[in-house]
Amino acid sequence: MSFGRATSVHSSDGRTWTGAIEPDWDIFENANGGYMMAIAARAMSGAADDRLPVSVTAHFTRPGKAGPVSIATEVVRAGRTFSTVRADLSSEAGVVLAMLGTFAEAGRSPGDTLLVDSEIPDVPPPDDCVPALPAVDGPLPPPLMGKVEERIHPDDAGALLGKPTGRPRMRGWIRLRDGEAMTPFVLLLVADAFPPAIFNTFLPLAWTPTLEMTTHIRATQVEGWLRCQFTTRFISGGYLEEDGEIWDESGRLVAQSRQIALIPR
Amino acid sequence: MSFGRATSVHSSDGRTWTGAIEPDWDIFENANGGYMMAIAARAMSGAADDRLPVSVTAHFTRPGKAGPVSIATEVVRAGRTFSTVRADLSSEAGVVLAMLGTFAEAGRSPGDTLLVDSEIPDVPPPDDCVPALPAVDGPLPPPLMGKVEERIHPDDAGALLGKPTGRPRMRGWIRLRDGEAMTPFVLLLVADAFPPAIFNTFLPLAWTPTLEMTTHIRATQVEGWLRCQFTTRFISGGYLEEDGEIWDESGRLVAQSRQIALIPR
């Protein structure tokens, strides 16, 4: 099932939406957080006259399991250019994620690149990277890897091979399978679809419960391979963050992300 | 008026809170975003049995003006260790900011520092930095500078002196005035209390409308001078982000922040 279908939502009143967490978008049997954010964001966008996501935050309250979900949306404010929208995505068990987002008029000009005080992440071409494929048996790599085409930088692929590099970093390429066209909503998935950067540390390869994730989206269209970099700089005070950058093939930053998670045991 | 009093909130039912945006916490006559986040976060904490903020997100819908405010809170989920809470902070004009946060049990152990893959920001001692004081007349530096003691890294102080360095970076020290004790809520203010890093670029020194801000807090207590670094790496696609790091005197990261704003004109 395509990403587009697996994130589709329906509503009769423009406020309450129905959809489903489809199977095989999971890791350790919990649905991928970015995938669930994309489902909810599509409902939020629908509630906001199809405005497009600029900044979307999710707080995770329960693991998501495959099955039907409902998304209750509320437009906090609809301005001339931006709408602020909140949503709860709920399963039978209760609220799975609470969301808050700002959405922009689709026709808004994306704007030029005025200043970049950063380097494009250094990643060899996709064919020189290590493909991440779902495990034939066992939990890792997760079933989600069957839904996207993902190539990991050889220098960061130690995590996949049982030989962590010691440096919490994960770089690589990603795109949807079968040449599926990509909407900005896919960036919410992409920001959460790589192996955690901390898999390259001494920490156990275990479920890393994310408390909160925010993704900023600067593109209204995306295509081709997306060049990604994820880093964790601080494992301290009980928490760890992961920062993501997503670039397109033309060398344009299309999204940034940050999540805060509990340290896995 | 102290930060503690200027952010105090009251409620009779534990759900709806009243408080005030006090004068002189503003820039260009709009209340500082981090200051308003602290007011709302105190109400959210109150609604969550005084649990402490871990990750707090605000989406800004209207400029905040001095005057009374009400904060409608809702606990989305109260778990054993964490509570997810949402809130709207409203003035007479309507909703000023919509918030979503995760709060942790106050007794939760802060946890050791397990890994830091980053440098402590290089800032000379406070006495060797440039004090940021409120302007005697004119909008900059803003009145807020009378509420905190702030010292700017001499290499980044060009922005204050009409000579931007060209590099969107702002480092320095901050603490509350008159030795006021600091709670974790002050970190929400601190994350938004320095001159914008982009004041060191070619962009006009103008109101920079923040759409969304998220602050992660890793400390349950803070004291002394706080060492801060704010950077903007991408001014593109119509938006700019600002990333913040806040460290205490012992060299511990106590908070991280990121906001996304419109490019000032």
Residue B106 pLDDT greater than 90, yes or no = no
Strand blocks (E) in A196-252 = 210-217, 226-231, 234-236, 239-247
Mean pLDDT, range B250-260, rounded to an integer: 96
pLDDT for residue A213: 98
Q: What is the pLDDT of residue A138?
A: 74
Question: Pairing mode, if any, of strands A234-236 and A94-104?
Answer: unpaired
Check if A69 contacts B (Cβ < 8 Å): no
Say which of B214, B218, B252 has its CB closest to residue A239. Answer: B218
Q: What is the pLDDT of residue B74?
A: 98
Query: By the CB < 8 Å criterion, does B57 face chain A?
Result: yes
Q: Report pLDDT for B47.
A: 98
Positive or negative, the CA dihedral B149, B154, B158, B162 is: positive
A59 vs B: CB within 8 A: yes
pLDDT in tens, B191-223: 999 999 999 998 887 788 999 999 999 999 999
Residue B239: count of CB within 10 angstroms of its CB = 21
Contact B115 A61 (CB under 8 A): no
Q: Which two tokens stand for residue A158?
A: 């130690």
Q: Does A84 touch chain B (CB under 8 A)?
A: yes
The pLDDT value given to residue B208: 84
**Residue B90: pLDDT above 80?**
yes
Residues in A touching B112 (Cβ below 8 Å): 236
Residues 8-47 of B with CB under 8 A from A: none
Partner residues linked to B101 by β-bridges = B56, B85
Is the CB of residue B78 less than 8 Å away from at least one CB of chain A?
no
Q: What is the pLDDT of residue A111?
A: 80
Average pLDDT over residues B19-32: 90
Tell me how far apart the alpha carbons of residues B156 and B261 are, in angstroms, rounded to a whole number: 21
- What is this structure's pTM? 0.96
Q: Which residues are within 8 A (CB) of A250 and not within 5 positions of it... i.e. 6 or more apart? A: none
Start-to-end CA span in chain A (Å)? 33
Phi and psi torsions of B27, nearest 5°: -140, 130
Q: Is the pLDDT of residue B109 over 80?
A: no
Q: Looking at this predicted complex, what is its ipTM?
A: 0.95
What are the pLDDT digits (tens) for A96-125? 999 999 999 987 777 889 999 999 999 999
How far apart CA A68 and CA A21 sit, in angstroms, is 6
> CA A36 to CA A70: how far, in whole Å?
11
Backbone angles phi, psi at A104, to 5 degrees: -115, 150
pLDDT digits (tens, 9 = 90+) for A152-171: 999 999 888 889 999 999 99
Which tokens in the block code for residue B148?
A: 């905190």
Residues of chain A with pLDDT under 70: none
